[in-house]
């Protein structure tokens, strides 16, 4: 019992130290209790015959030194012969720190809510909803020093049944899962400058759409991002990510983004 009590006290105390030592660009960002924060990002994704432009807005609030909540909104437009346009799914997320100081262990999770069905008209144009809700959970472990940080994570996303309305003819996609693994390294390259490298892989489970089997898929990604601090409460970033399908006959894509992260 004394050992358990000591470990609990250590987790609580190190969690508090981690919050006090928080920096806006932490790979496992978790600010002091009462801090409000946000991320605004514009991205452009391009592959042969397809391109998309998205604006993502994240707003967060730290309820405690070891717990934060987030709301995510997105607006997107895609053109691949037919067009997709409009507001996307709404995301609600949370981060809870079990222990942390130089080494940090977090649990993350959330939900994605589709306000309506995915709707496709007779011309093939569609709204930007997925047509189904999703639940996700993950774990992250990382280390932070003054000059460098690293983080590894494992995540599971459970996609619930989704509905696509083809001009009045509805089609159902069965619930299925996505499993992903990711790693990131953040390196200081100047007094106010950092560079982040990232790598990830995502496996999507095979599933049925109206009794027709859709094969599972694998997507690899490799990215880099430059960050520059304006002050301790604001930094801007720009980067690119290569999206590589697991099968060589499928086409890869490039995603470019610029953004700003801030706290107040």
The pLDDT, as a whole number, for residue 248 is 53
How do residues 174-197 score in pLDDT, each as one tens digit?
999 999 999 999 999 999 999 999
Measured CA to CA, the distance from residue 120 to residue 159 in angstroms comes to 20
Cα–Cα distances in angstroms (integers) from residue 225 to residues 25, 146, 258, in the given order: 12, 18, 9
pLDDT of the residue at 2: 41
Supply 84's token pair: 């997709």
Domain boundaries, the chain: 2-263
Provide CATH code, domain 2-263: 2.40.160.40
| Tokens found for residue 17 | 């130290």
pLDDT for the residue 122: 85
Beta bridge pairs of residue 91: 72, 112
* pLDDT attached to residue 250: 67
Residues of the chain with pLDDT under 70: 1-20, 248-250
Range 234-241 contact pairs with CB under 8 angstroms and sequence separation of 24 or more:
234/24, 234/260, 234/261, 234/262, 235/24, 235/25, 235/260, 235/261, 236/260, 237/261, 239/196, 241/198
What's the predicted TM-score (pTM) here? Answer: 0.88
């Amino acid at each position: 019992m004394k050992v358990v009590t000591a470990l609990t006290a250590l987790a609580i105390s190190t969690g508090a130290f981690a919050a006090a030592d928080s920096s806006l660009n932490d790979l496992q960002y978790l600010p002091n209790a009462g801090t409000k924060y946000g991320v605004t990002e514009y991205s452009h994704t391009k592959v042969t015959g397809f391109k998309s432009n998205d604006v993502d807005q994240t707003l967060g609030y730290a309820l405690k030194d070891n717990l934060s909540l987030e709301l995510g909104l997105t607006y997107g437009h895609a053109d691949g012969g037919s067009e997709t346009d409009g507001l996307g799914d709404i995301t609600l997320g949370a981060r809870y720190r079990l222990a942390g100081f130089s080494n940090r262990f977090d649990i993350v999770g959330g939900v994605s809510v589709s306000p309506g069905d995915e709707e496709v008209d007779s011309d093939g144009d569609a709204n930007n909803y997925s047509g189904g809700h999703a639940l996700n959970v993950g774990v992250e472990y990382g280390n932070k020093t003054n000059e460098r940080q690293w983080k590894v994570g494992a995540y599971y996303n459970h996609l619930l049944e989704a509905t696509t309305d083809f001009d009045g003819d509805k089609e159902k996609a069965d619930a299925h899962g996505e499993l992903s693994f990711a790693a990131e390294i953040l390196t200081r390259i100047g007094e106010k400058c950092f560079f982040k490298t990232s790598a990830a892989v995502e496996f999507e489970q095979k599933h049925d759409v109206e009794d027709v089997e859709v094969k599972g898929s694998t997507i690899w990604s490799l990215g880099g991002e430059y960050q520059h601090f304006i002050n301790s409460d604001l930094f801007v970033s720009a980067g690119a990510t290569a999206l590589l399908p697991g099968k060589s006959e499928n086409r890869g894509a490039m995603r470019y983004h610029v953004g700003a992260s801030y706290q107040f």
